[in-house]
Structure 1
Amino acid sequence: MAGRGTIKAQSGFNANADAQALYKAMKGLGTDEATILKLLTARSNAQRQEIKAAYKTLHGSDLVSDLKSELTGKFESLIVALLSAPTKYDVECLKHATKGAGTTEKVLIEILASRTTNEVQAINKLYKQEYGKTLEQDVCSDTTGAFEQMLVILIQASRQQGVQEANVQADAKTLFDAGEKKFGTDEEQFVTILGNRSAEHLRRVFAEYMKLSGFQIEESIQRETSGHLKEVLLAVVKCARGVPTYLAECLYNSMKQGSGTDDQTLIRIMVSRSEIDMLDIRAEFRRMFATSLHKMITNDTSGDYRKTLLLLCSGDDA
Structure 2
Amino acid sequence: MTVSRRFRCVSVLQLGSRGTVTEAAGFNPDQDAEALRKAMKGAGTDEAAIISILPHRTIAQRQLIKESYKRAVGKVRDTLADDLKSELTGNFEKVVIGLLMTAPVYDAYELRNAIKGAGTDEACLIEILASRTISEMRTLVATYNKEYGKSLEDDVCGDTSGMFKRVLVSLLTEIYEAGEAHWGTDEVKFLTVLCVRNRNHLLKVFEEYKRISGRDIEDSIKREMSGCLEEVFLAIVRCIKSKPGFFAERLHKSMKGLGTTDSILIRVMVSRSEIDMQDIKAEFLKTYGKSLHSFIKGDTSGDYRKILLELCGKEI
Q: Are 2:100 and 1:83 equivalent residues in the alignment?
A: yes
Match of 2:168 in 1: 151
Match of 1:117 in 2: 134
Could you tell me how far apart the structure 2 residues matched to 1:196 and 1:7 are? 32
Match of 1:34 in 2: 48
Could you tell me how far apart the structure 1 residues matched to 2:63 and 2:21 are? 15
Q: In 2, are the aligned partners of 1:5 and 1:276 still within 8 Å (CA)? A: yes
Match of 2:192 in 1: 192
Matches within 5 A, 1:129-144: 129-144=146-161
RMSD of aligned Cα (Å):
1.4
The alignment partner of 1:54 has SS state of helix
The alignment partner of 1:186 has SS state of helix
Could you tell me how far apart the structure 2 residues matched to 1:129 and 1:34 are? 34
Match of 1:275 in 2: 274
Shift of 1:157: 3.9
Shift of 1:290: 2.0
Match of 1:316 in 2: 315
Deviations 1:85-104 (A, max 9, x none): 11100001011111111110
User: Match of 1:246, as an amino acid?
Assistant: F
Instruction: Say how many residue pairs are matched.
Output: 293
Shift of 1:153: 0.5
In the superposition, the TM-score normalised over structure 1's length comes to 0.90
Could you tell me how far apart the structure 2 residues matched to 1:231 and 1:101 are? 21
Shift of 1:132: 2.0
Match of 1:298 in 2: 297
Higher relative contact order (CA 8 A, sep 6+): 2
Match of 1:172 in 2: none
Could you tell me how far apart the structure 2 residues matched to 1:273 and 1:218 are? 24
Match of 1:17 in 2: 31
Could you tell me how far apart the structure 2 residues matched to 1:142 and 1:75 are? 29
Greater CA deviation, 10-19 or 239-248? 10-19
Match of 1:164 in 2: none
Could you tell me how far apart the structure 1 residues matched to 2:72 and 2:21 are? 26
Shift of 1:27: 0.3
Shift of 1:30: 1.2
Shift of 1:235: 0.1
Greater CA deviation, 53-62 or 17-26? 53-62
In the superposition, the TM-score normalised over structure 2's length comes to 0.90
Match of 1:222 in 2: 222
Match of 2:287 in 1: 288
Runs of 4+ in 1 over 3 A off after TM superposition: none
Match of 2:264 in 1: 265
Shift of 1:44: 0.7
Q: In 1, are the aligned partners of 2:175 and 2:195 still within 8 Å (CA)? A: no
The alignment partner of 1:133 has SS state of coil
Match of 2:235 in 1: 235
Could you tell me how far apart the structure 2 residues matched to 1:90 and 1:102 are? 19
Could you tell me how far apart the structure 2 residues matched to 1:213 and 1:185 are? 16
Shift of 1:291: 0.8
Match of 1:209 in 2: 209
Match of 1:169 in 2: none
Shift of 1:257: 1.4
The alignment partner of 1:141 has SS state of helix
Could you tell me how far apart the structure 1 residues matched to 2:132 and 2:217 are? 21
Q: In 1, are the aligned partners of 2:254 and 2:265 still within 8 Å (CA)? A: yes
Match of 2:58 in 1: 44
User: Match of 2:302, as an amino acid?
Assistant: G
Could you tell me how far apart the structure 2 residues matched to 1:24 and 1:134 are? 40
Deviations 1:31-70 (A, max 9, x none): 1000001111111110101101110100134001111111
Shift of 1:299: 0.3
The alignment partner of 2:159 has SS state of coil
Match of 1:246 in 2: 246
The sequence identity of aligned pairs, in percent, is 53
Shift of 1:195: 1.0
Deviations 1:147-200 (A, max 9, x none): 1111000000469xxxxxxxxxxxxxxxxxxxxxxxx65311111111111111
User: Match of 2:263, as an amino acid?
Assistant: Q
Shift of 1:3: 2.8
Q: In 2, are the aligned partners of 1:25 and 1:31 still within 8 Å (CA)? A: yes
Q: In 1, are the aligned partners of 2:129 and 2:168 still within 8 Å (CA)? A: yes
Could you tell me how far apart the structure 2 residues matched to 1:235 and 1:304 are? 31
